[in-house]
Amino acid sequence: MMSLVSYLIISLILFIVGLVVMIARKNIIAILLGIELILNAAALNFVAYSRYVTNNLDGHVFSLFIIVIAAAESAIGLAIVIRFFQIKETIHVDEATQLRN
């Protein structure tokens, strides 16, 4: 049951779900949720390959960096969301059109 492919399939499902969330949702926070899912799918792949293929811990280190970057990204992203909400009173992504035209 446990093999590289099973982890890859879980990661693929996570990735697709994250993609669907990112594309289908118009709520900026929900898009960030999708991004988290996609990042975690990638990190899971790294760790799985690290165990089943490369036999060293570089994959672990990579996924640690992914976690760090995800944390930084969500902090900045949510700060932008809050600022955006203060200005536009909405967090609908289609409302972010100030630079259009």
Partner 1 sequence: MEYTVGNIAPIFLSPVIAFVINAFFGRKLPRQGDWLATLSIFISFIFSARIFGDFVFGTFATDFFIHKTFTWFDLSHGANIWKVDMGIYIDNMAAIMLLMVSGVAFLIHLFSTWYMDHDEKHGRFFVFLPLFTSAMLGLVLSDNLFSLFIFWEIMGFCSYSLIGIYNKKEAAGDASLKAFMTTRVGDVFLLLGMVAIWMVIGSVAYVDIYAAIAEGKFAGQTVIGISLATFAGLCIFLGGMGKSAQFPLHVWLPDAMMGPTPGSALIHAATMVAAGVYLSLRMYPLMVLGDLTWFIAVIGAITAFGAATIALVQTDIKAVLAFSTISQLGYMMIGVGVGSYNAAFMHLITHAIFKACLFLSAGSVIHSVHEQEMPKLGGLRKYLPYTHFAMMCCTLAIAGIPFFSGFVSKDRILGDALYFGFIAGQNPLLAIVPILGFAGAGLTAFYMFRMMFLTFYGENRMGHHDSHGDEHAHGDHHHGHDIHHEHLDARSNVPLLILSVFTLGVWFAGSLTGQGIVKVFGEKTEWFKILVEAPKVERFVKHPREAFGSTDSRVKAELPKAKYDHQSGYAGPNPDDHKIHSAHVVGAWMSIVIAFLGVFIAFLMYIKKSIKPLASMFPGYTETLKNKYYFDNLYVDVIIKKGLLGLNRFLSWFDMGIFDRFAVDGWAAVNRVLFKASKWFDNVVVDAIGVDGTGVAVNLFNLVLRIVQSGKIQFYFIMLIVVLASYIWTVNI
Partner 2 sequence: MFVQLLFALSALLTVGCAIAVAVTKNIMHSCIFLLGSLLGIAGLYATLGADFVAVTQIMVYVGGVVILMLFAVMLTGGKDFVSRAQNLLGLAPAMGNKWTYAIGLLVGLVVLLTNVKLIMNISKAYPAKVFGNDFPSTVNQIGHLLIKEHVLAFELSSVLLLGALVGAAIIARPRKQG
Judged by the rule CB under 8 A, the positions of this chain that interact with partner 1 are 19, 22-23, 26, 31, 93-94, 97, 99-100
C-alpha span between 75 and 80 (Å, rounded): 9
DSSP structure class, residue 93 = G
CA distance 63 to 33: 18
Q: Say which amino acid occupies 81.
A: V
42 near partner 2 (CB under 8 A): no
Residues 82-101 that bind partner 2 (CB under 8 A): 82-83, 85-86, 90-92, 94-95, 97
CA distance linking residue 80 with residue 32, whole number of Å: 11
Report, in Å, the least distance between residue 91 CB and partner 2.
5
Nearer to partner 1 by C-beta: 53 or 57?
53
Site for partner 2 in 3-22 (CB under 8 A): 3-10, 12-22
